[in-house]
Amino acid sequence: MDMLGMYPTFYVPGIGTAWVMGIIGVIHVVASHTSVGASFLFALLETKAYREDKPQLMDFIKKYGMFLLVFSYIIGSITGPGIWYAITVASPRGVGGLIHNFVWVWAAEWVYFTVEVIGVYALVYLIGKVDAKTHLKLTWSFALASWATMLLIVGILSFMMWPGNEAWYQTGSTNDAFYNLNFFAHLGTRTGSMVAMAAVVGLMVASRLKDMALRRSVVKFLAPIGLVGGLFAVMMFLYYLQTLPNNAVVMLNTHLLPVYARGMVAVFVTATLYLVFAWWKPHRLYTSLTVAMFAFISIVGVWPEERMRESMRKPYVAGQYIYGNQVIARDVPGKGIVGEVDKIAEHGLLKLHPFVPDRLRVINDSNRLEVGRLLTKVACANCHSLEPGTPLRNIPDKFHGATDEDLIAAFMQGPLKHGTQPYMPRIDLPDEEVRAIAHFLATVNSGKDVDHLIAEQQKLATKVAAK
């Protein structure tokens, strides 16, 4: 029988690979958005310096550029590859699917990224060493290359939500995938927020300027741009919400907005007030306050935004055809991809998953618990942690601590088997696999030390085998 193209499941207790990816991702977004946003602020500010013949503004650009080099670029280039490592173990088939769609888009992105990194060094170190006009051209090239990296990545990220059209499933073409329904809205949201974030970091740098006249002119320039960026981001975000698939809307209304909406409004209001205040009283700009403001935006604004985007996409990880648990949800004729849910329903994961140890392929009384743990990890752990009380929608709590195996099995043979929960994959497993999962979850809920029990059973089994 043909095996499925599944990979081993990588599991991080309590938070799952989802949060590992989320934490790295948020740090990356904060660093990268700040640097892309700053590149545009530099280009605009330098244009002003050039036109109005105010070379002292270049002092600020040099300071801010140095700050970016030391913080954003180093953090960004550590977390960027970090995302690759994390997603490759968290969601190997999701990454595989994206690479098969976007390999040249990524290649292009890396070219722009190289230009960007060389650009930021050149920009900082060539101030005053080449003539002003050449430097201005350099700065604009840096800004455009920076934004190009964002534009290309956003095409890929927004395809992860969904293509938004039926065409891609038939053609499999990169264009149909890239210019998906929420591409422009998503790009606009990020472009607006990157400008606002960069403006706040700019104020942080400006607050260190001793020359008050210079500080004033920099702040009066940055604050309104930040305000426009923030407003634009909010408008584009509202447009973005209109481009989402149904499963995302359900997830948003039932699980996400009730938790995050207030924080996000608070970020917008506070950041707006802060920028207005800075604009009004530039000499009252304190570094500590600006740092706190930026931390607030990152934690209460960026974290929920990224979390929402990841959660809304459920049950899929990419293109509404790969489920979070790595199973292919549907046929994609354009790519020669065939859905796997029915095949799993017929033969079971134990027979079809290439990385199941042979001793666990057939369930018996002495391995049922271990098989249950393995199947739960494969089928559920991409979205749920297995330990009670832990943050990644842990399953024990989702079942309210139920110790009744029949009850757990009934949920799996009802909503999960028929795919009636819009945010969960259709998970249709043979009866005995469902029983094994139910047995495992009920044992966890009864408070027993499952790992210890499994170790004992393994010992016993090796003893029996030795005899």
Stretch in the footprint of ligand HEC (CB under 6 A) among 24-32, 154-162, 344-352, 411-419: 411-419
Shortest distance in whole angstroms from residue 154 CB to ligand HEC: 23
CA–CA dist 353, 366 (Å, integer): 21
Structure tokens belonging to residue 75:
């953090």
233 or 383: CB nearest ligand HEC: 383
The phi, psi pair for 323, rounded to 5°, reads -70, 160
Site for ligand HEC in 325-364 (CB under 6 A): 325
Kindly tell me the burial class for residue 273, based on how many C-beta atoms sit within 10 Å of its own C-beta (0-12, 13-18, 19 or more). exposed
Among 124, 219, 379, 386, binds ligand HEC (CB under 6 A): 379
Helix (H, G, I), strand (E, B) or coil at 426: coil
324 part of the interface to ligand HEC, by CB under 6 A: yes
Among 48, 359, 393, 417, contact with ligand HEC (rule: CB under 6 A): 393
Residue 125 CB, shortest distance to ligand HEC, in Å, is 47
Nearer of residues 283 and 400 to ligand HEC, judged by Cβ: 400
- Beta partners for residue 425, in sequence order: none
* Residue 420 burial (CB count, 10 A): 10
User: Could you identify the residue written with the tokens 């046929």?
Assistant: 331
Query: Out of 28, 33, 186, 314, which residue is the one contacting ligand HEC (CB under 6 A)?
Result: 314
Q: Please identify, using beta-carbon distances, which residue of 221 and 399 lies nearer to ligand HEC.
A: 399
Sign of CA dihedral 270, 273, 274, 275: positive
Beta-carbon contacts of residue 356 (< 8 Å; ≥ 6 apart): 349, 350, 374
3-state helix, strand, coil split of the chain in percent (to 5) is 75, 0, 25
Region 412-431 residues binding ligand HEC, contact defined as CB under 6 A: 412, 416, 421, 423-425, 427
Task: Kindly identify the residues of this chain, within the stretch 245-284, that bind ligand HEC according to CB under 6 A.
Answer: 255
The contacts of residue 19 (CB under 8 Å, 6+ apart) are 12, 391, 392
CB of 401 to ligand HEC, least distance (A): 11
**Contact status: 237 vs ligand HEC (CB under 6 A):** no
Residue 395 lies near ligand HEC (rule: CB under 6 A): yes
Q: Shortest gap between Cβ of 312 and ligand HEC (angstroms)? A: 9
Give 49 or 416: the residue with its C-beta nearer to ligand HEC: 416
Euclidean distance between the first and the last CA atom of the chain, given in angstroms as a whole number: 33
Q: Which of 19, 67, 240, 399 binds ligand HEC (CB under 6 A)?
A: 399
| Four-residue CA torsion sign, 276, 279, 284, 290 | positive
Among 361, 398, 418, 459, binds ligand HEC (CB under 6 A): 398
Q: Which residues bind ligand HEC (CB under 6 A)?
A: 255, 314-315, 323-325, 379-380, 382-384, 393, 395, 398-399, 411-412, 416, 421, 423-425, 427, 437
